[in-house]
Amino acid sequence: RPCLLPISMSVLSCSCARSTPRHLPFIIKRNHRRTSSTTTTMATTDMVASSTTAPRLFIRNQPVETETFDSIDPATGKAWIQVPACTKAMAEDAVSSAKDAQEAWAATPLLDRIAMLELAADRIEAIADKLADALVHDQGKPLQMAQGEIKFTSKGINRLSARTIPEETVESDFMIEKLQHRPLGVVCCIAPWNFPAIISALKWSRALFYGNTVIVKPSPETPVVDLMIAEALAGDGTWQPPSNNEKGSVFPSGVFTVLTAPDGGTDFNLGAFLSLHPSIRGVSFTGSTSTGKSILASSSTDVKRVTLEMGGNDAAIIRPDVDVKETAKQIFNESMVNTGQVCIAIKRVYCHESIYYDFVQALVEQAEEAASTVGSGFDEGVKYGPINNARQLERVKELIEDAVAQGATVVAGGGSPPGTTAGTDGFFFAPTILTGVHEGMRIVDEEQFGPVLPVMPYNTDEEAISRANHGEYGFGGGGGAKEMEA
């Protein structure tokens, strides 16, 4: 599982042409949670100024009026826009429309489905600047990174143009087996808040490619971009063929729906509703381990196909023959990209004891230089935005405090960057380097998902490998060396 961006996968189990086909055309990334939002029908008085129009909910390609909840700008800690809060009745209608549309969508020729997906990518490109601005407000990342995410979102959809759906025939002395890829039915795509545009799109575009209809549930921390995309794809509400469709709906009614709801504060839990619904036949989830376990358990009631990605704690091993300053720069960048909120970011470092103190000092220099580039994603020169939400900020602080209480030393960072107060001026936190840490501390054993890097010395390669493999997480890894033996 070595990738930043999700790769589509198809899984099929069948033994002959008449066997029951099953197919899973999607995978996942990660999601973490923000503080609970409160449902409201009134605009917040201290709303952050923005040129983005409040997004609407679309079901059956038609706008639906509903109550709203606040979306929080992590650079200010304040609401920046109102977001529609889906009700249970609306969610039921959306699932029903997806189920009704699925058979006809699956019967639509593949080239026609691809043409509609290409049109969807074109619609996204047409509003790319608006989507990037909304992404900065909603997620917090620097504008240039947000623009890149939107660019790769449309490119990721267009990559489907060259794909086919293969069929394989295997003959033996006893039988002829035919392997076919068939859609599951209605697929629920639950997206994360660290890369909300591209990860969501790579889920739903693959599901649609294979003939599934989709219900997309963005994280309540970053709901706006998916809602804006849904509105662009709904058009004027009347579906037309892609070859002559300038203003109409990209997909037929019920094929593609985005639903949003607050994470708490109401009696209706949208995620639980969708994962338990009998008409949902597949769930693609990226998020916390606890939520993933709940989805897996609930899916067993009707044997849904479920794909989960629930965390990582990637280690880097630094051997003694490296260029210390250059390697420290690379490791720092790989750890702190997107303010450390990346599934395969380096989250702990094992450095050979002979260069340990020099390497730590080089990391400290990187962190001190980076602290001056923390700020709002709209500000010039900013490389690191805020942590996405208040809950995650508190988790990062808690893990550092726990480590320090057990003897760790904060050698860089450890608090708000200069000129800011975390929680008052947004959810900012300076890039942080920790020493005096070891296995058994939460900062080493758990995934911090923030701008914190614990660094530990080791003596032998065997020790480093053993310690890097310590713990329950998998995912990726990295390191530095001039020469490696096979």
Contact 227, 215 (CB under 8 A): no
Pairing of strands 186-190, 213-217: parallel
Q: CA of 83: how far to CAs of 124, 138, 197, 209, 227, in Å? A: 20, 11, 16, 29, 9
DSSP class per residue in 398-452: HHHHHHHHTT-EEEE--SPPTT--TTTS-S----EEEES--BTBHHHHS---SSE
Contact 396, 452 (CB under 8 A): yes
Half-sphere exposure of 369 (CA within 13 A, CB side): 10
Strand partners, 285: 190, 308
How many Å apart are CA 345 and CA 448, to the nearest integer?
A: 10
Tokens for 92, please give them.
């039921």
SS3 content of the chain, % helix, strand, coil (to 5): 35, 20, 45
How many Å apart are CA 140 and CA 135, to the nearest integer?
A: 7
Question: Among the options 86, 188, 343, 351, which is catalytic?
Answer: 343
User: Which ranges of 140-251 does DSSP label H, i.e. alpha helix?
Assistant: 143-158, 196-209, 224-234
How many Å apart are CA 351 and CA 479, to the nearest integer?
A: 9
Kindly list the strands in the beta sheet with 305-309, ordered across the sheet, starting from the edge strand earlier in the chain.
256-258, 213-217, 186-190, 280-286, 305-309
Return the SS3 of 348.
strand
How many Å apart are CA 484 and CA 486, to the nearest integer?
A: 6
Q: CA of 38: how far to CAs of 35, 58, 261, 321, in Å? A: 10, 21, 10, 54
How many Å apart are CA 97 and CA 215, to the nearest integer?
A: 10
Query: What's the full length of the chain, in residues?
Result: 486
CA 50 from centroid of its chain's CA atoms: 24
Residue type, 112: D
Question: Among the options 149, 231, 309, 334, which is catalytic?
Answer: 309
343 is catalytic: yes
118 is catalytic: no
List the catalytic residues. Answer: 309, 343
